[in-house]
Amino acid sequence: MITDLDLKKAAEKVISYAYSPYSNVSVAAAVLTKNGNVYTGVNIENSSYGLTVCAERNAIASAISAGEKDFTRMTIVTNSKMVNSPCGSCRQVIFEFNNNMPIEFFGPDGYHRSFNSAELLPEGFEL
């Protein structure tokens, strides 16, 4: 059984792969699927800032690319004190695939928050 600590370790393992030369903010995410598989993603910045893709969406895209769409939990790790939750775009993407998913968020100096996707986006768009 995959634990919250396992998800955190998976995100920590890939955070060094983040591509963030403009902000120097690295973020990694690990998402657990209903089938028990873990998929990770990191943020990838671009000089055309609107083309930047967040770690949370990259983790979800990785899972979807492998044929999985049923997510049960997510963990996010960052090196920045400025970031303390997913951005609005990520909130909607997370909400679309699980509108009540538990999310653990870890930052530097022991920062930790727990919330779920409904708390982050109380009136998200649904099909």
Q: Which residues pair with 28 in a beta bridge?
A: 42, 77
Q: Which of 12, 45, 56, 119 is catalytic?
A: 56
Q: According to the model, what pLDDT value does residue 126 have?
A: 80
Is 56 catalytic? The answer is: yes
User: Which amino acid is it at 10?
Assistant: A
Q: Is the separation of the CB atoms in 45 and 23 below 8 Å? A: yes
Domains, the chain, ordered by start: 4-120 (3.40.140.10)
Q: According to the model, what pLDDT value does residue 123 have?
A: 87
In the block, which residue shows the tokens 């960052």?
Answer: 78
Q: Is the separation of the CB atoms in 101 and 117 below 8 Å? A: yes
User: CA geometry: angle at 93 spanning 88 and 94, to 5°?
Assistant: 95
Environment class of 4 (CB within 10 Å of its CB; exposed 0-12, middle 13-18, buried 19+) = middle
Could you list the mean pLDDT of each consecutive 10-residue stretch along the chain, which spans 127 residues? 95 98 97 98 95 97 98 98 93 96 96 95 86
Q: According to the model, what pLDDT value does residue 92 have?
A: 96
3-state SS of 37-58?
CEEEEECECCCCHHHCECHHHH
